[in-house]
Amino acid sequence: MSQLPAPKAGEFSLPTRVYIEDTDAGGIVYYVNYLKYMERARTEWMRGRGFAKAALGDGKQLMVVHSAEVQYKRPARLDDELAVTARVSDCRRSYMIFEQQVWRKQELLCQGQIKVACVNAETMKPEAMPAPMLAAIKDQ
């Protein structure tokens, strides 16, 4: 993909393209699809640190989105080349906060702050992240 911004230090960037399935009747990306792009970037960021599944360790813990705050700046359109970034801005025992952006060339289209929590898979209550995961996140 051409002319997309280079990732900053500590930032992961996932290139993607807008397909017809991402758009509304006017060829503009449907707002919720920006959250899907961000989810993919976070997933690949985690995969790059050795955590490829939503279930952790012995499958008794999950990583789930706790909250999302998103600001839409400009619309993406059919066939646009995009870069979706992810970087951890805060990491605690049971959650982390991602700062994420969606870019078209050098133009910021969307940005968000996504809080992802570690929960018990059965009770869905917060739990501390496994030590190896916490270390990998803090060592970024």
pLDDT digits (tens, 9 = 90+) for 87-102: 999 999 999 999 999 9
Q: Are 109 and 82 in contact (CB under 8 A)?
A: yes
- Check pLDDT > 60 for residue 1: no
For the chain, the distance separating the N- and C-terminal CA atoms, rounded to the nearest angstrom, is: 25
Concatenated DSSP letters for 67-122?
EEEEEE-S--BTT-EEEEEEEEEEE-SSEEEEEEEEEETTEEEEEEEEEEEEEETT
* pLDDT given for residue 48 in this prediction: 87
> Would you say residue 7 lies in a domain?
no
What single-letter amino acid sits at 40?
R
> Would you say residue 2 lies in a domain?
no
Higher pLDDT, 135 or 58: 135
- Check pLDDT > 60 for residue 28: yes
Among 28, 8, 30, 16, residue whose Cα is nearest residue 99? 8
> Would you say residue 5 lies in a domain?
no
> Would you say residue 64 lies in a domain?
yes
> Would you say residue 3 lies in a domain?
no
pLDDT digits (tens, 9 = 90+) for 76-86: 999 999 999 99
pLDDT digits (tens, 9 = 90+) for 44-77: 998 888 887 666 667 788 999 999 999 999 999 9
> Would you say residue 109 lies in a domain?
yes
Q: Give the confidence band of 4 by pLDDT, cuts at 50, 70, 90.
A: low
Q: Residue 49: give the domain boundaries.
A: 12-138
58 classed as catalytic: no
CATH code of the domain covering residue 33: 3.10.129.10
Catalytic residue among 22, 24, 79, 80: 24
- Tally the domains of the chain: 1
Q: Which two three-digit tokens encode residue 8?
A: 């900053």
Higher pLDDT, 5 or 45: 45
Mean pLDDT of the chain: 90
> Would you say residue 68 lies in a domain?
yes
Burial environment of residue 51 by CB neighbours within 10 A (0 to 12, 13 to 18, 19 or more): buried
> Would you say residue 4 lies in a domain?
no
